[in-house]
Structure 1
Amino acid sequence: MTKEGLIEAVMKAAGLETKALAHKVVEALFDTIVKTMARGEDVAITGFGTFRVVKRAAREGRNPKTGEKIQIKASTKPKFRAGKLLKEAVL
């Protein structure tokens, strides 16, 4: 499903009259999740899952082509962990 498909589904499921209103709802949800994670906070949606900010420490790695040791910089990445209801619905 694309973002456009999600907007259509939200419009129908919520009984919204216009696609523009459904678009605003979806954009507001995504924007809120992004802004919250940008502050380093998790977003937990019971049953659905948790969006987390994961900090990875700097570490030593290897170049797979040459086998040469390289230094991998510390990084911060977004991560999603599915909740129980989502897992059950998919399985």
Structure 2
Amino acid sequence: MIRSELVDKIAEANPHLYQRDVERIVSTVFNEIIEALANGDRVELRGFGAFSVKKRDARIGRNPRTGESVQVEEKHVPFFKTGKLLRDRLNDS
């Protein structure tokens, strides 16, 4: 599902809301999650999962094309851990 499909589903389920308002709500939610992660905070959506940021240390990598060693710098990457409800729904089938 892409963002526009999510907006359409929410708008269908809530006919009293305008499409532009639903788009603004979805954008605000995503922007708040992004902002929290950028600040190093953890975002937990009960029953769905938790977003956090993990630090990857600098290391020596390898260019797969040439085989040459390459220095890979330290970086921070987003991490998602599923919640129990989501895990149970996925494994029920």
2:26: which partner in 1?
26
Displacement, 1:19? 0.8
2:53: which partner in 1?
53
1:4: which partner in 2?
4
| Structure 2, unaligned runs of 5 or more | none
Q: Partners of 1:13 and 1:51 in 2: how far apart?
A: 26
Q: Partners of 2:16 and 2:5 in 1: how far apart?
A: 15
Displacement, 1:20? 1.1
Aligned residues: 91
Q: Is 1:7–1:19's contact at 8 Å kept on the other side of the alignment? A: yes
> Structure 1 pair 83/15, CA: closer, same or farther in 2 (3 Å)?
farther
Q: CA RMSD in A?
A: 1.7
Percent sequence identity over aligned pairs: 35
Q: Partners of 2:66 and 2:21 in 1: how far apart?
A: 54
> Structure 1 pair 16/76, CA: closer, same or farther in 2 (3 Å)?
farther
Displacement, 1:14? 4.0
1:90: which partner in 2?
90
Q: Partners of 2:76 and 2:36 in 1: how far apart?
A: 14
SS in structure 2 opposite 1:47? coil
Q: Is 1:37–1:52's contact at 8 Å kept on the other side of the alignment? A: yes
Displacement, 1:5? 0.9
TM-score by length of 2: 0.83
| Structure 1, unaligned runs of 5 or more | none
